Amino acid sequence: MKYVIFTVSLLINAALVYVLGTREVLPIPLGEFLSVQEGIWQNAESADHDFSENVALKDLNGEVNVYLDERLVPHIFAEDENDAYYVQGFLHAKFRLWQMEFQTFAAAGRLSEFVGDKAIQFDRNQRRMGMVYAAESALYAMEQDDSTKAALDAYTKGVNAYISTLDKADLPIEYKLLGYMPEKWSNFKSALFTKQMTYTLAGYDKDFEYTHALKLLGEENFQLLYPEIADSLYPVIAKGTPYTQPLAELVPPANADSVYFKRNDTIHIAQEFKPNPSNGSNNWAVSGSRTQSGKPILSNDPHLSLSLPSIWFEIQLHTKAFNSYGVSFPGLPGVVIGFNDSIAFGFTNAGRDVKDYYEIKFKDASKSAYWFNGEWKNAEQRIENIKVKGSNNLLDTVAYTVFGPVMYDKSFKNELTAEKAYALRWVAHDTSNILKMWLLLNRAKNYDDYHHAIGYFNVPGQNMIFASHSGDFALWQQAAFPLRWKGQGLFVMPGYDSSYMWKGFIPKEENPHAVNPTSGYVSSANQRPADSTYPYFIPGSYEVYRAITINKKLDGMVNITADDMKALQNNNYNVFAELARPLLSKYVHRDQLNADESKYLQIVESWNLQNDPNEKGVTAFHAWWDSLYNNIFMDDLHQTSQPLVRPEKFVLLEALTKDSAFRFIDNRNTAQQEDLAMQVTSALKKATIKLNELASADKLEWAKFKNTTVYHLLKISTLPFARAGIMNGGGNGIVNATQHDHGPSWRMVIEITQPIRAFAVYPGGQSGNPGSKFYDNFIDTWAKGEYYTLFYMHKEDVNADQVKWKMSFNPVL
């Protein structure tokens, strides 16, 4: 009996170790996870935690002091700039380590290593897109340049100095949840981060969808649904600006009509992953001649997926050479959007297409040769080794051609037409040292410095805005943009003929720009950079409506103050609805509506056109418009099972405004001939069903419908780490671009007076720790459209009230 009792109890013990200490039975090992001395309780940061400490660092050149203010923004004071980057690396790791590593794991296609086989397709997609290859090119370029290499080396040392202090109890909670340990940081990881950012901002493509659409619709209808330029375009560079004409006109290859524009075979590719096409931004800078202070004001708000931890980390770098303040990317040294004593700088996405596909014919299944210019050309083979948690490594062979990696072939996403393969030509693969631009902008003093700095930037194309204390203001759309003949790269191109390759790049000096224009301001909002007189073919994904609101507002402003600029960033005016509502009102058959339908018509017609949180009109308007859009287009687009891109909303609005007999109005699936009035009326009836459902769930008010949510980076699986139900306004096409989980990720208004007056906010907090009160403490301020006054610190401020903690970094003796 004693033996039995002992044996049974021993077995129970073993079972407890197995159940509570491994992930085999429960998804998390509760023993380790809840242990008070090493588990999650150690992540519960005391509300009055003292962040002051002394740290000894190897290879530091001198003493570095970091003053943390009440919002936990570090103000780094170092003599030597590389020391500043060293400590920046340390602080990024201290507050954001898991995020930094997660983002670079995602970039490198390594998520399967800790989430298992559910990420295999994602990882393969990243690898086959050439993300690692692109990061290697970037690293090469960055390390060729001495000052960039020194900055990166220092930054990497800082990250690793912090990692080496960690024991299990100190690990960020996500490591404890997922069960892995951080690796050493490297310059290569910083390079990977730049490529993840590039993918986010210049990774959107629609070549396959356009190819399908062209085949389905024919050339004329394709032009109607996917026009190059919106009638209502308010370009970045004002209409009427003269452009230098290129020396020679680019013409398509002689056979383009038959093998490119009118191809009639079928492509079967389903692209599973795409960056969010809403990734964009607003920026504008107004001249001192229009401001109350007489000095320029620069404003910028980048729109990205809203996430916790935030993509941004606020920081000040004070060195002998410069004193910059703004937001940084955890993963890179320097300030990315911000200002210094003399200038301010910011960015919006250019949205230009810099990503094309070429159809490749391999000699055989070994993928070692492909047909090019009349002969078999050798393809390099790159073997991607994907580690998968809980299973064997997966080896994936990717062929590299003269264009770039063959992303899709028989083994990936192309099972139906196995003999066809598609290579990717993407500017992100080319060597370029984009970090150098930021390192130079941090220390730029005037327009010439800015202009020199942005010349280093190749991808992702940006509208780079600038203003200086001396009064200059400028905007350049800058990057390496391919030179294309008209129509080149809209569709999948033949890969056997070098005449379809890009013809180089548009000379950088001919990229659209405005320097001190007489209008007294420059602005951009992801719209097409120039009107049709710009002499190059520049396809892309462009927004139309935010720019209209911004430009109209700026045109009418005088004596501008920082408060005016804040109000503009939070402007909820719906210019699209202003243009579209009259159309709905005009065509709806009022006599055919029931009581509910009439009620929603009345709500839409009495709406003040503001996407304010409590407005029901905006919800009703969009439900109605979306129904109309579906009524008109979906019968036509659903004729094929191939993926297509939805025509932009401006396309329908402008078509109907010009022509009430627009050829797509009729529903091809019904016997009768629908006209616009019938479609508008039927759309309201359909919308009413949806709106009644929303009303019964109390979701008719815009903010309740939109339910603004800042997700944790692990999305729905860590929903308790998110902030949901934020009641704010805005929307797609609105200056306040806040959608459900996407929007202004940093709002900044800089008045370049002396001293500088700076205001900003982002929807997150400085700490990446869900157990810290600094995790999401800016969100409420952000949601209300309010700003923090930034503490731009100088040497004499070390005893200022704002300084709450001090960290001292000293060289190891």
Binding site for other proteins (CB under 8 A): 2-3, 5-6, 9-10, 12-13, 16-17, 20-21, 28, 30-48, 168, 173, 718-721, 770-773, 775
> What are phi and psi for residue 176, nearest 5 degrees?
-70, -35
The CA distance from 276 to 694, in Å, is: 26
Complex with other proteins: residue 17 or 634, whichever CB lies closer: 17
Closest CB to other proteins among residues 366, 717: 717
CB of 787 to other proteins, least distance (A): 25
Nearer to other proteins, 129 or 173 (CB): 173
Cα 135 off chain centre by: 18
* Distance in Å, CB of 308 to other proteins, minimum: 11
Residue from 413, 430, 435 nearest 334 by CA: 435
- Which of 227, 250, 251, 246 has its CA nearest to residue 535? 246
30 versus 727: smaller Cβ distance to other proteins: 30
Nearer to other proteins, 28 or 224 (CB): 28
Cβ-based nearer residue to other proteins, 393 or 707: 707
Nearer to other proteins, 13 or 245 (CB): 13
Rounded least distance, CB 772 to other proteins, Å: 7
Give the closest residue to 94 by CA, choosing from 768, 618, 812: 768
Measured distance CA(245)–CA(510) in Å, rounded: 9
Residue-by-residue DSSP string for 489-526: TTS-EESS-GGGS---B--GGGS-EEES-TTSEEEESS
Decide whether 43 or 630 has the Cβ nearer to other proteins: 43
Residue 478: what residue type?
Q
> Which secondary-structure segment (H or E) carries 128?
helix 120-128
What does the block give as tokens for 329? 């990317």
Helix (H) or strand (E) holding 747: strand 747-751
- Cβ-based nearer residue to other proteins, 329 or 775: 775
Q: Which of 358, 339, 251 is nearest to 300 (CA)?
A: 339
Instruction: Report, in Å, the least distance between residue 49 CB and other proteins.
Output: 9
- Closest approach of other proteins to the CB of residue 710, in Å: 14
Rounded to a whole number of angstroms, the minimum distance from the CB of residue 59 to other proteins is: 30
Q: Which is nearer to other proteins, 527 or 772 (CB)?
A: 772
Tokens, residue 126: 């990243």
- The three-class DSSP label of residue 184 is coil
Phi, psi (5° rounding) for residue 620? -65, -45
What 3-state DSSP class applies to 464? strand
C-beta of 52 vs 498, nearer to other proteins: 52
- Residue pair 108/126 in contact (Cβ under 8 Å)? The answer is yes
Nearest approach, Cβ of residue 520 and other proteins (Å) = 47
Min separation Cβ 22 and other proteins, Å: 11
Burial of 529 (0-12, 13-18, 19+ CB in 10 A): buried
Does an H or E element contain 474, and which?
Answer: strand 473-478
427 beta partners: none
- Smaller CB distance to other proteins: residue 34 or 224? 34
* Residue 466 vs residues 90, 169, 517, 527: alpha-carbon distances, Å: 30, 45, 13, 18
Minimum CB distance to other proteins, residue 176 (Å): 10
What is the closest distance, in whole angstroms, from the C-beta atom of residue 33 to other proteins in the complex? 8
CB 59, CB 811: distance < 8 Å: yes
Q: Which is nearer to other proteins, 278 or 777 (CB)?
A: 777
Alpha-carbon distance 683 to 630, whole Å? 8
Show the DSSP H helices in 355-412 as ranges: none
Of 556, 586, 582, 581, which Cα lies nearest the Cα of 568?
Answer: 556
The residue ranges of DSSP E strands in 288-400, in sequence order, are 297-305, 307-308, 313-318, 323-328, 337-339, 343-349, 355-360, 369-372, 375-378, 380-386, 394-400
Nearer to other proteins, 718 or 810 (CB): 718
Q: How far is the CB of 94 from other proteins (least distance, A)?
A: 17
Q: Could you tell me the smallest distance in angstroms from the CB atom of residue 34 to other proteins?
A: 4
**Shortest separation between residue 41's beta carbon and other proteins, angstroms:** 5
SS3 percent helix, strand, coil of the chain, rounded to 5, is: 35, 20, 45
Cβ closest to other proteins, residue 31 vs residue 277: 31
Distance CA 316, CA 382 (A): 42
The closest alpha carbon to 342, from 749, 752, 748, 751, belongs to 752
- Asked if residue 691 lies in contact with residue 600, where contact means CB atoms within 8 angstroms, the answer is yes
State in angstroms the smallest separation of the CB of 803 from other proteins. 23
What's the first-to-final CA gap in the chain, in angstroms?
65
DSSP label at 772?
Answer: S
Work out how close the CB of 3 gets to other proteins at its nearest, in angstroms, rounded to a whole number: 7
Shortest CB 703 distance to other proteins, Å: 22
Vertex 27 angle, CA 23 and 33, to 5°: 75
Cβ at position 711, least distance to other proteins in Å? 13
Q: Name which of 46 and 670 has its Cβ closer to other proteins.
A: 46
Q: How far is the CB of 90 from other proteins (least distance, A)?
A: 24
Whole-number Å distance between alpha carbons of 812 and 90:
15
Half-sphere exposure of 471 (CA within 13 A, CB side): 7
Closest to other proteins by CB, 47 vs 595, is 47
SS3 label, residue 411: coil
Give the residue with the Cβ less far from other proteins, 43 or 417: 43
